[in-house]
Structure 1
Amino acid sequence: MLIIPVKEGENIDRALKRFKRKFDRTGTKRQLQTRKQFTKPSVEKRAQIQKAQYIQRLRDLENI
């Protein structure tokens, strides 16, 4: 659970901004999105291979 202490006289928008930043850094939202639906291990592996091929292609074009 995230706890954001709000100082006396502090603007609520500033406290909300601190909360959002802290929430993003914990990775909770990303974790919830991945749990939302199941992806087969073979599909995940294929996606990793495609990403690696794409990055390698960019590096090869950069070196040419």
Structure 2
Amino acid sequence: MLVVPVKEGENIERALKKYKKKYEKTGIMRELRSRKEFEKPSVTERQQKIKAAYKQRMRSAEI
């Protein structure tokens, strides 16, 4: 369970923003989406390789 401490006089929108940020960091939604359908390990591995190649290209382009 996520707990977001709210200070005296703090805006509700700010507290909601903190809650949403904490919720995103837990990765619950990502996990739910990944469990929605089964994906073969080979497909997952291929996607990871494609992402890694993309990241490497972006890093080499920066330098």
TM-score, structure 2 length as denominator? 0.67
Pairing 1:34–2:57 present? no
Question: Counterparts of 2:52 and 2:7 in 1: how far apart (Å)?
Answer: 47
Within 5 Å, give how 1:1-64 maps onto structure 2.
1-55=1-55, 58=57
Question: Counterparts of 1:6 and 1:16 in 2: how far apart (Å)?
Answer: 10
Gaps of 5+ in 1: none
Larger Rg: 1
The alpha-carbon distance between structure 1 residues 35 and 8, as it changes in their structure 2 partners (threshold 3 A), is: same
| Corresponding letter in the other structure for 2:35 | R
Question: Counterparts of 1:11 and 1:46 in 2: how far apart (Å)?
Answer: 45
Higher RCO, Cα 8 Å, sep 6+: 2
Shift in Å, 1:54: 4.5
TM-score, structure 1 length as denominator? 0.66
| Corresponding letter in the other structure for 1:5 | P
Shift in Å, 1:13: 0.2
Shift in Å, 1:3: 1.5
